[in-house]
Structure 1
Amino acid sequence: MPASLAYNSSGSDTNPDPFLLTPILNLPPSFGSAYVGETFSCTLCANHDVPPPPDTPLSATTVASPGGAAPQTPAAQKRKYTRDVRIEAEMKTPGSGGTVQKLVLGPVGTDSGEGGDGDGNGDGETMGTDLEPGQTLQRIVNFDLKEEGNHVLAVTVSYYEATETSGRTRTFRKLYQFICKGSLIVRTKVSPLLDLGPRLHTHPDASKKRRGRRRRRRRWAMEAQLENCSEDVMQLERVALDLEPGLCYADCNWEVSGSAKPVLHPGEVEQCCFVVEEDGEGKPGEDKDGRIVFGVLGIGWRSEMGNKGYLSTGKLGTRVAR
């Protein structure tokens, strides 16, 4: 039974196994909130809610058709068919101006009480689906949220309404608006450390010329402060650096110590630290103003509903003393 279809229960007791806290299912108070770094997901359902035509008894009155055609029952004359049902979706973001982004939907197929007839081959974006009374067409929206502000999801449903003798195309459109909020505030600080000696080459073919150019390797301590600015509890899954060529780093956080993954309640802060150093194989690039670019910091987490989130900072670095 698809979740979008109404389910009529004949039993009087609809909760035979009561929930632990209350017989009514409780959702988190912030259920439905959207945050930057997470994926907005929802199911779009187009239901054919027209009840199926009643069975016509054998003794039903028939209506003679002109021209001597076979007689028809009144129910047969009024029967309508829903063909070529399509669902399309577009998203408008704060930074898109007046343009909208067309979304790729999935899965493909029709679900009904007796099982759907979808083939699941990805043709649902261009091919319509015929729906019998009581069936539903479902599509899933997945959209990565990258901006704070007002988002508008526009959903268009089109279908062909046919009878035995004629038909017409119908279309309706609905708009769903939601606010995307910030999830994490990231603050970083870079401090220089004492230089290390040159890294020894273990390859036997290392030339004397290469050895003569060895120099001391510079090091820096990079601290990152992660503040949960959302309304949900989150568990940090991974905090890692994606460095530029010529650099490497040592992780000084919970994965190294074997500690549990940090859990951040709204407003709480987690301190992270990395030791960044030159790998000795090449010199890291510098800007025109003498700034060494380290790379980006990536943060992954899960919300209390299990949703995954991921954020990456801009290019991080530090100025080199001359």
Structure 2
Amino acid sequence: MSHQRYPSIDPVKEPHAVSLKVLRLSRPSLVSQHSLLAPTSPIPAPLDRPSSTSSSSKPATIPASLAYQTTSDTNPDPFLLTPILNLPPSFGSAYVGETFSCTLCANHDALGDPPASGGGPGDNYSQQQQQHYQKKKSIRDVRIEAEMKTPGSGAVQQLSLTPTDMPPPSTTGAAHTSETAGGGGGSSGTQGVDLEPGQTLQKIVNFDLKDEGNHVLAVTVSYYEATETSGRTRTFRKLYQFICKGALIVRTKVGPLPAPSAMATDAQRASQDGSDGGVHSEKKRRKWVMEAQLENCSEDAMQLSRVLLELDPGVHYRDCNWEATGSPRPVLQPGEIQQCCFIVGEDEVGSAVEGKDGRIVFGVLGIGWRSEMGNKGYLTTGKLGTRVVR
């Protein structure tokens, strides 16, 4: 029989009076419902009217089958989707180009009345817990701090929390707190907040996702626990990990645009090129065709809002996509591809400067979209260009 050489020291850890709840706000969904009709008996037809013209009552919907019950007309027709937003139960998947948002709630958990000291065999409360209930504690100077660890940078980024505005001072001279939407508590920029039992300090984090890979959100809660005779500062920290994926796959291809044929007139060349120069200058101005394939690699549908080029000096472009033709914005289902086209040309003869490697840099491609629930996303590519073949 084995024995421990040294007895293990396991001190009793007193639970924190403040708890932390983190809930993701981005990428919500609509709550669905499957309504059921209540069985109704048909109304018998009157004797003086034929049965074919009798009117039957419309079956009523069983209230328990609806997503929620209300006396107003917010849900008059029991449709499959309701106007209630359902926040994600977990962090789930996040995508590059979107804004990750979550709420941080520090709750002062109210303890119940101290149990009666019966002393019987079924009493599960120890003497230490009895003393814990008897001591009156107050929670002061509650603070919330958040940091984000991204795969692209080795250092941890300190996040700014909202709201940060200080509320007006209290006229009664008492300890100042500002109630939040969570039902009590307060929020301030850098100063702590005193919380009464049942109150909440709520903050919101917004972070623009730019890198793929594992992200770690670290939340630190600190507060001062004061009793009638003493006090101490307590701190705890929680980590939340989620994976960031790519929402779009962008493939580009650049090729030279042949010069107009010799049969074209000067007016046709000016209308096609958007310039008023002569024939000699138009032949020397170089042009290229840039094609871009946008593939939706996310799990949800998206609507492309804009696709544009942010060019370097010396070149211009002409848009050949839905904005130029007045077509509706394309909607991409998961796995679908949208083809885009641009015509890039020089402002003047030789204005597109070649680098030492013989490559001409045009600029970057910016892509904006919205998800099914209206969440915005924006992505920019690296420097795009072409290599001059001599």
Specify the TM-score bucket, using the shorter chain as the normaliser.
Answer: 0.7 to 0.9
- Residue 343 of structure 2 corresponds to which residue in structure 1? 275
2: distance between equivalents of 1:190 and 1:312? 17
- Residue 156 of structure 2 corresponds to which residue in structure 1? 100
**Residue 180 of structure 2 is aligned with which of 111, 115, 125?**
111
- Residue 70 of structure 1 corresponds to which residue in structure 2? none
- Aligned residue for 1:255, secondary structure, equals helix
The answer as to 2:202 corresponding to 1:138 is yes
2: distance between equivalents of 1:31 and 1:304? 18
The answer as to 2:247 corresponding to 1:183 is yes
The answer to whether the 8 A contact 2:185-2:194 is kept is: no
- Aligned residue for 1:94, secondary structure, equals coil
The answer as to 2:147 corresponding to 1:90 is yes
2: distance between equivalents of 1:34 and 1:239? 22
- Aligned residue for 1:309, secondary structure, equals strand
- Residue 21 of structure 1 corresponds to which residue in structure 2? 80
Q: Larger deviation: 77-86 or 300-309? A: 77-86
Matched AA of 1:85: V
User: How much has 1:93 moved relative to structure 2?
Assistant: 1.3
- Residue 207 of structure 1 corresponds to which residue in structure 2? none
Matched AA of 1:152: V
- What is the TM-score of this pair, normalised by structure 1? 0.76
The answer as to 2:145 corresponding to 1:81 is no
The answer to whether the 8 A contact 1:92-1:151 is kept is: yes
User: How much has 1:221 moved relative to structure 2?
Assistant: 0.8
Matched AA of 2:242: F
1: distance between equivalents of 2:103 and 2:182? 18
1: distance between equivalents of 2:249 and 2:349? 34
- Aligned residue for 1:221, secondary structure, equals strand
Aligned length: 278
Per-residue CA deviation, residues 206-241 of structure 1 (Å, 9 max, x unaligned), is xxxxxx999732111100000011111111111000
The answer as to 2:382 corresponding to 1:295 is no
Distance 1:222 1:107, change over 3 A: same
Matched AA of 1:171: T
Unaligned runs of 5+ in 2: 1-20, 23-62, 115-130, 165-177, 260-268
State which structure, 1 or 2, has the greater radius of gyration over its C-alpha atoms: 2
1: distance between equivalents of 2:96 and 2:182? 37
- Aligned residue for 1:248, secondary structure, equals strand
User: How much has 1:28 moved relative to structure 2?
Assistant: 8.2
- Residue 247 of structure 1 corresponds to which residue in structure 2? 315
Per-residue CA deviation, residues 112-171 of structure 1 (Å, 9 max, x unaligned), is 6776655xxxx52x2111111121111111111111111111100000011233211011
Distance 1:281 1:44, change over 3 A: farther
Matched AA of 2:102: C
- Residue 174 of structure 2 corresponds to which residue in structure 1? none
The answer as to 2:113 corresponding to 1:49 is no
2: distance between equivalents of 1:34 and 1:281? 46
- Aligned residue for 2:324, secondary structure, equals helix
User: How much has 1:182 moved relative to structure 2?
Assistant: 1.2
The answer to whether the 8 A contact 1:160-1:170 is kept is: yes
- Mapping 1:80-229, distance limit 5 Å: 80-97=137-154, 99-108=155-164, 110-111=179-180, 118=187, 124=189, 126-195=190-259, 199-200=275-276, 216-229=284-297
User: How much has 1:280 moved relative to structure 2?
Assistant: 2.0
Per-residue CA deviation, residues 234-265 of structure 1 (Å, 9 max, x unaligned), is 11111000001011111110111111111111
The answer to whether the 8 A contact 2:142-2:222 is kept is: yes
Q: What is the root-mean-square deviation of aligned Cα atoms in Å?
A: 3.4
The answer to whether the 8 A contact 1:112-1:134 is kept is: no
Per-residue CA deviation, residues 167-192 of structure 1 (Å, 9 max, x unaligned), is 11011111101111111110001111
Matched AA of 1:15: Y
User: How much has 1:39 moved relative to structure 2?
Assistant: 1.0
User: How much has 1:315 moved relative to structure 2?
Assistant: 0.5
- Residue 97 of structure 2 corresponds to which residue in structure 1? 37
User: How much has 1:304 moved relative to structure 2?
Assistant: 1.2
- Residue 62 of structure 1 corresponds to which residue in structure 2? none
- Residue 385 of structure 2 corresponds to which residue in structure 1? 317
More RCO (CA 8 Å, sep 6+):
1
Q: Larger deviation: 27-36 or 285-294? A: 27-36
- What is the TM-score of this pair, normalised by structure 2? 0.63
Distance 1:159 1:187, change over 3 A: same
**Residue 372 of structure 2 is aligned with which of 275, 293, 304?**
304
Q: Larger deviation: 142-151 or 106-115? A: 106-115
1: distance between equivalents of 2:244 and 2:318? 34
The answer to whether the 8 A contact 1:51-1:134 is kept is: no
Distance 1:16 1:130, change over 3 A: same
The answer to whether the 8 A contact 2:185-2:196 is kept is: no
**Residue 305 of structure 2 is aligned with which of 231, 234, 237?**
237
Matched AA of 2:327: S
Matched AA of 2:241: Q
